Amino acid sequence: MFTYLYPYFQQILNTMKRQITIKDIAIKLGLSTSTVSRALKDHPDISPKTRTAVKELAALLGYRPNRIALNLRSNSTRTIGLIIPEIEHYFFSAIINGIEEIAYKNDYSVMVFQSNETYRREVNNTHAVLTNRVDGVLVSFSKETQDYSHFMKLVENEIPVVFFDRVVDGLPADQVVADDYHGAFMAVNHLIEKGCKRIAHFSAPQHLLIGKNRLSGYYDALLKHNMPIDANLVFPSDTYDESKRIALSVLKLPNRPDGFFAVNDMSAIAIIKAAKELNLRIPEDIKVVGFENSKSAALCEPELTTVDQFGFELGREACLLLLKRLKENNQSNFKPERKVIKMKLIQRKST
């Protein structure tokens, strides 16, 4: 029916410099724009021959739907906001990879905001999320955050929110977390089974649930083996520099610990570095376990025993849960859901 137009299509393609529209296709085929629109959507009222002709011409001309217009009509931006403490941290970069895999498979873009572990910047991130009209938000809040009212603004604007890794109870939002308690319990139990009698813990801030849960796992592993709990062996430290400074001091004590459980891999590596500077052998003199299973854990010397948090999987599950909420689009009967990612102890030479 429309084959007589095909010899001219390549010429049209070569000369057109602007974006092809439905109107362009309609003019070339002598159809109305509504007919072309319905043909592209496989509407049953349009004959198969017309649908084929429209789609062939659209493909030849390089037609792409105007996404901005589609989003305005559907009141959706097909964009997910992601507020994260820091990008350079291996665990969070793995989470981002997991989130983006799911988002892009479902035709969503991810807009990343970094709080840099500061409350003020995180509040600004939340304002930016609202300004950019994202469809939903994934959040892991900063270490400074103890006031969560800025997240309530998202909820009040009926924007679905999923907290991951660092979560807070009391907010009407879904959660995806790692099993921090069990991971810590496994780490300390492993040190005890390897013969450690005096185990120190370099901990996260205790206003964070991850800090509380890992400390609880540490304590319960000691209790399981009838070992005394000594609060003087718990050191608030989750950065490389601070952990190395503390380790250099602790390792000089006459009754120094023979085992260390660190809240993350960089703190554990700092302990190893401090021990080497003091000519202590690992694992003969002290044994060290980290938490994260970063790439650095396998590259340090000796290789670090650590707890795998499965950041990539955590990111995937958080994004899947958010997309589920966006699909349901029902805030009236909302009941928060909590998903827990199991962990695994990766044994290496540091123990």
The CATH number given to whatever domain includes residue 48 is 1.10.260.40
Considering the domain boundaries, does residue 192 fall inside one?
yes
In the structure, what pLDDT confidence band is assigned to residue 263 with cuts at 50, 70 and 90?
Answer: very high
Q: What pLDDT, on a 0 to 100 scale, did the predictor assign at position 70?
A: 47
Q: Are residues 184 and 304 in the same domain?
A: yes
In the structure, what pLDDT confidence band is assigned to residue 157 with cuts at 50, 70 and 90?
Answer: confident
CA distances from 112 to 2, 107, 297, 319 (A): 47, 16, 26, 13
Question: Last residue of some domain: 65, 89, 111?
Answer: 65
Residue 220 in tokens: 């319960």
Is 99 a residue whose pLDDT tops 80?
yes
Least confident of 31-45, 65-79, 120-134, 304-318: 65-79
User: Which residues contact residue 221 at a Cβ distance below 8 angstroms, ignoring those fewer than 6 apart?
Assistant: 184, 185, 187, 188, 189, 192
Q: What percentage of residues in the chain have a pLDDT greater than 90?
A: 70
Is 282 a residue whose pLDDT tops 70?
yes
Q: What pLDDT, on a 0 to 100 scale, did the predictor assign at position 15?
A: 44
Domain that holds residue 152: 75-177+312-340
**The whole model's pTM is what?**
0.77
Q: Are residues 83 and 20 in the same domain?
A: no
> What digits encode the pLDDT tens for the residues 176-190?
999 999 999 999 999
Q: What pLDDT, on a 0 to 100 scale, did the predictor assign at position 68?
A: 46
CA distances from 91 to 35, 44, 216, 295, 308 (A): 50, 49, 22, 10, 10
Q: What pLDDT, on a 0 to 100 scale, did the predictor assign at position 303?
A: 98
**In terms of pLDDT, which residue wins out, 314 or 13?**
314
Considering the domain boundaries, does residue 250 fall inside one?
yes
User: Nearest Cα to 291, choosing from 310, 272, 316, 273?
Assistant: 310
**DSSP state, 208?**
S
Considering the domain boundaries, does residue 347 fall inside one?
no
> What digits encode the pLDDT tens for the residues 284-296?
999 999 999 999 9
- Overall number of domains in the chain: 3
Tell me phi and psi for residue 141, to 5 degrees: -80, 170
> What digits encode the pLDDT tens for the residues 68-90?
444 444 467 899 999 999 988 88
d(CA 113, CA 134): 12
Q: What pLDDT, on a 0 to 100 scale, did the predictor assign at position 170?
A: 82
Is 250 a residue whose pLDDT tops 80?
yes
Considering the domain boundaries, does residue 346 fall inside one?
no
d(CA 183, CA 53): 59
Considering the domain boundaries, does residue 349 fall inside one?
no
Q: Are residues 187 and 274 in the same domain?
A: yes
Q: What pLDDT, on a 0 to 100 scale, did the predictor assign at position 75?
A: 62
Q: What pLDDT, on a 0 to 100 scale, did the predictor assign at position 72?
A: 44
Residue 74 in tokens: 């559907």
d(CA 98, CA 46): 41
Q: Are residues 173 and 184 in the same domain?
A: no
User: Which secondary-structure segment (H or E) carries 3?
Assistant: none
Least confident of 35-39, 82-86, 311-315: 35-39
d(CA 185, CA 219): 8
In the structure, what pLDDT confidence band is assigned to residue 41 with cuts at 50, 70 and 90?
Answer: confident
Q: Are residues 55 and 118 in the same domain?
A: no
Q: Are residues 91 and 166 in the same domain?
A: yes
Q: Are residues 244 and 266 in the same domain?
A: yes
Q: Are residues 211 and 283 in the same domain?
A: yes
Least confident of 13-27, 70-84, 105-119, 154-168: 13-27
Q: Are residues 131 and 224 in the same domain?
A: no
Considering the domain boundaries, does residue 350 fall inside one?
no
